[in-house]
Structure 1
Amino acid sequence: MKLPIVAYGDPVLRKKAADFEADETAELKQLIADMYETMYSARGVGLAAPQVGLSKRLFVVDASPFDDEEPELKDFKKAFVNAQIVEENGQEWNFNEGCLSIPDVREDVSRKPEVLLSYYDENMVHHQETFKGMAARIIQHEYDHIEGKLFTDKLSPLRKRLLEKRLNDISRGAVKVDYKMKFPAAKKGR
């Protein structure tokens, strides 16, 4: 089932998400399937639970659209539950990022090229794994969501000021998207 994506300005995007507890995992596989369906319908490569209004430590990633630049990403599709970044390594590099919760805004963001992540998969099997390149970048972007952070937080104060009107417009629903969204500051009854 496609879920509505919450827009910039919704308080759920600013909360540090809670872990899934052992007794909460019964619906996990369906939630993951719904998140993949939502992400694909919005043509994204990652989606975190806070973006669908659920303050839980879960995100899904499919980096296969980048397999022409990094062939090892051909079948890179994973769900990450209760993820924790153990360490980030390497020289930061810029890449133009966007976000399904902040449509029509893309900015260069600097991130480390390697991340060591501790997480559980959809079967609640624990993994500790190193990811590099574009996979690491997508994971860091989605990880920020479960920490209550957005890619716009990484921009300079001047760049944030220049984007302020566009971000407020998104929050009010004054943006065209071809996927279902919930806008926190939209006028009721529209």
Structure 2
Amino acid sequence: MTFSLRQIGDPILTQVAEPVTEFRDPGLQHLIEIMLSTLKTSSGVGLAAPQVGSSLQVILVASRPTLRYPEAPQMEPLVMINPRPLAASPEQVLGWEGCLSVPDQRGLVARSREVEVEYYTPQGSRQRVAWQDFPARIFQHEYDHLIGQVFLQRHPQQLLSEAEYQAQILGQPATAA
């Protein structure tokens, strides 16, 4: 398994990821470590295993304020294995999204405002969580990777380059990251 960040056009990003069946597999822990490291070095707020070349159902949700998302709530990275949406609010909200696998693009995407999710911890314990707003958006974005989709397939109402997004939406110089 290689762990380079996969970009749009890579076939792994269009595949449905396989469920994790062995929680004690050392490869799973190694994958999680690689994902956490990649998330930190890339300044991302979420990551899915297919983005690092593994077709397993593992995602990270790690909301925090950044230059791109200054109003995001702070949370520790949460590792979710075999996540399954249980419920999603019918209320859709628009929000700007980018993706580590879709460089230099930002899209205005409609997502459910609230989600309830069941998942497993790395130790195999089943959990439930309910999120709203930005963490709910992160989950939905990362879950899409597990079903072979990227945010561009959600038909964004507007698409901007990273420089346009920074200048027009954030009011920042285009060189800010």
Verify same fold: TM over 0.5. Answer: yes
Instruction: Indicate conservation of the 8 Å contact 2:81/2:122, yes or no.
Output: yes
* Counterparts of 2:7 and 2:97, CA distance in 1: 16
| 2:140 equivalent to 1:140 | yes
Match of 1:112 in 2: 112
User: Secondary structure of 1:95's partner?
Assistant: strand
Q: Measure how far apart 1:128 and its partner are.
A: 1.7
Structure 2, gaps ≥5 residues long:
162-177
User: Secondary structure of 2:18's partner?
Assistant: coil
Normalised by the length of structure 1, the TM-score is 0.75
Letter of the structure 2 residue corresponding to residue 143 of structure 1: Y
Q: Mark the CA change 1:25 to 1:106 in structure 2 (over 3 Å): closer, same or farther.
A: same
How many residues of Structure 1 are paired with residues of Structure 2 in the alignment? 158
- Larger CA deviation: 36-45 vs 18-27: 18-27
* Counterparts of 2:25 and 2:59, CA distance in 1: 14
Match of 1:69 in 2: 71
* Counterparts of 1:63 and 1:23, CA distance in 2: 25
Q: Mark the CA change 1:23 to 1:97 in structure 2 (over 3 Å): closer, same or farther.
A: closer
Letter of the structure 2 residue corresponding to residue 64 of structure 1: R
Instruction: Indicate conservation of the 8 Å contact 1:3/1:38, yes or no.
Output: no
Match of 1:86 in 2: 86
Q: Relative CO higher for 1 or 2, CA cutoff 8 Å, sep ≥ 6?
A: 1
More helix by share: 1
Q: Mark the CA change 1:77 to 1:23 in structure 2 (over 3 Å): closer, same or farther.
A: closer
User: Secondary structure of 1:21's partner?
Assistant: coil
* Counterparts of 1:25 and 1:135, CA distance in 2: 28
Letter of the structure 1 residue corresponding to residue 71 of structure 2: E
* Counterparts of 2:76 and 2:103, CA distance in 1: 24
| 2:32 equivalent to 1:32 | yes
* Counterparts of 1:92 and 1:63, CA distance in 2: 19
The RMSD of aligned alpha carbons is: 2.5
* Counterparts of 1:23 and 1:86, CA distance in 2: 22
Instruction: Indicate conservation of the 8 Å contact 1:48/1:145, yes or no.
Output: yes
* Counterparts of 1:65 and 1:25, CA distance in 2: 33
* Counterparts of 2:44 and 2:158, CA distance in 1: 24
Structure 1, gaps ≥5 residues long:
164-190
Q: Mark the CA change 1:63 to 1:98 in structure 2 (over 3 Å): closer, same or farther.
A: same
* Counterparts of 2:46 and 2:103, CA distance in 1: 14
Q: Measure how far apart 1:90 and its partner are.
A: 4.1
| 2:90 equivalent to 1:95 | no
User: Secondary structure of 1:94's partner?
Assistant: strand
